Chains A and B, each alone.
Chain A
């Protein structure tokens, strides 16, 4: 479905662009048909940049993004529009995704003028009601309202409904639930899961919340400062985390079924200047000893079937740390 090959994005900063910020550094991964892949990373890890590059909102510096085999940067005009018929996005802040001075359902009208100019009004209205009920919204409650008159949850579902009008195959969901309240969050996730099951929609779920990622996706990709640290089948990555960063993440997430372990978190100040070697070198507890970590950037290596890691020394991680992080105790609450 979507394939990223050695995608890199370097931002030029400063007056004449002398300072370079390497936001995404040689990232490659694939999202197959009907699969939900979550892109997990903290702020500044480049996950949103990748989402925007797939949606052609920002250009790549190098590397390629293929959709059904052909390079999307080559698309323009008609071809680009067809691409948007199949690939759509939903963004983080529901209130900033709507032009405040127009009614919320204007986003449907834009689609009609751009993609379906010939469709008759009644037929179009029927389709809108159809997609609204798919996303669990009552048309009378939400149509004809201004964005500030609707809740975050409703607005996000509105955006998903908009994407469904185009009968899309690939959806980039960029932190779509982080602004929503816990109680409405889960329904939006269930909606995405149903779309994958019933319509075979493949989704790139971008988030910083590991428990949400685990709930929804089949595969996980852990990003840190623009590079992939670990990726693979989500059960394997969460049960047997191999990369020190993933372990720290898993042990730091506040959980309801388990108290925080006592593993000490060294809050090292994050120096930005390290270019060569492993991006995680500064905060990695393993890196002190090894020299190789400082000079050579580790590549993704298949540690086990459907489980990759980018760390020179992942085999030397002491037993008990690995156990504590990956341990899940007890079943979910009824």
Chain B
């Protein structure tokens, strides 16, 4: 039986599709993205409007039931999804950018620059970010999702900086960087055209983790009352639910969906990251 070797055009795509973790993760994430976009058009109500009887369990009329004040939980839920993505992308993105810049400069320049940046990273790494976020959040009376995303972005970057620094150090030692230097390329150009493309796959994975982390941080902040002062977010929903005794009254439909959504979304992001890691790094593939 002469087995014809399969013509494998792009090894990466071949593996990416076979990897069930990647498929599952992306599927769940897209589901929530879709829900965030389509959701608000599905319900006639406004998140804060009093539209029905109070504390009604989920029924045909109100898919996720109503709150203590008769607001439709499903409407609040779908409207609350959008800021979760906003803070996730902005906060996660900002943290990735800052982490990459600091890690990259430390790794590429080396010497005392590396020393200083590294110490700074270790310091911010150890500081309990909640203290920082509290002061900044409390200091600004009026808080928007954007501000919250910036806060989270500015405090979540240290571990990314360390990872990117290690990656840069290993790439910098590669000989094609030397070859570029003796081809007369300026350092900035070397960084952009030679080193950065190699790190792209790595940065995508780092961003996904930061995205998940940012969502969790945002929900925590909203929950202890430091979230945005206007608008609705899943964290805020849970805070209000707890504040108004949804727990003792057993109004599970008020606090279960928001938390569950965050857990599923962030879990899916982590699993996507694992899938990508397996696709890029053959060692984990056989497992």
Interface flags for B162-176 (1: CB within 8 Å of A; 0: not) read: 000000000000111
In Å, the complex CA distance between A92 and B174 comes to 11
Interface flags for B101-126 (1: CB within 8 Å of A; 0: not) read: 00000000000000100000000000
Q: Do A99 and B183 touch across chains, with their CB atoms under 8 A apart?
A: no
Give the contact-size bracket for chain A: 20 to 34
Q: Is A107 an interface residue (CB 8 A)?
A: yes
Q: Do A52 and B184 touch across chains, with their CB atoms under 8 A apart?
A: no
Q: Do B176 and A97 touch across chains, with their CB atoms under 8 A apart?
A: yes
Q: Do B175 and A99 touch across chains, with their CB atoms under 8 A apart?
A: no
Specify which of A93, A101, A110 is in contact with B183 (CB 8 Å cutoff).
A110
- CB of A55 to closest CB in B, whole Å: 5
Interface flags for A99-129 (1: CB within 8 Å of B; 0: not) read: 1111000010011001100000000000000
A111: B residues at CB distance < 8 A: 183
- CB of A93 to closest CB in B, whole Å: 6
Q: Is A199 an interface residue (CB 8 A)?
A: no
Specify which of B176, B178, B180 is in contact with A52 (CB 8 Å cutoff).
B178
Q: Do A99 and B178 touch across chains, with their CB atoms under 8 A apart?
A: no
B194: A residues at CB distance < 8 A: 99
A97: B residues at CB distance < 8 A: 175-176, 179
Give the contact-size bracket for chain B: 10 to 19
In Å, the complex CA distance between A91 and B183 comes to 13
A15: B residues at CB distance < 8 A: 115
In Å, the complex CA distance between A96 and B180 comes to 12
Among residues of B, the one whose C-beta sits closest to the C-beta of A115 is B184
- CB of B199 to closest CB in A, whole Å: 11
Among residues of A, the one whose C-beta sits closest to the C-beta of B194 is A99
In Å, the complex CA distance between A110 and B181 comes to 11
Highest count of chain A CB atoms <10 Å: which of B178, B181, B185, B198:
B178
B115: A residues at CB distance < 8 A: 15
Among residues of B, the one whose C-beta sits closest to the C-beta of A87 is B182
* Given A99-B194, A99-B198, A101-B197, also A84-B183 (CB < 8 A): yes
In Å, the complex CA distance between A307 and B183 comes to 36
B182: A residues at CB distance < 8 A: 55-57, 84, 88-89
- CB of B15 to closest CB in A, whole Å: 16
Q: Which residues of A contact B (CB under 8 A)?
A: 15, 52, 55-57, 80-81, 84, 88-89, 91-93, 96-102, 107, 110-111, 114-115, 159
A-B CB contact pairs (8 Å), 12 listed: A57-B178, A84-B182, A89-B179, A91-B175, A91-B178, A92-B175, A96-B175, A99-B197, A107-B179, A114-B184, A115-B184, A159-B179
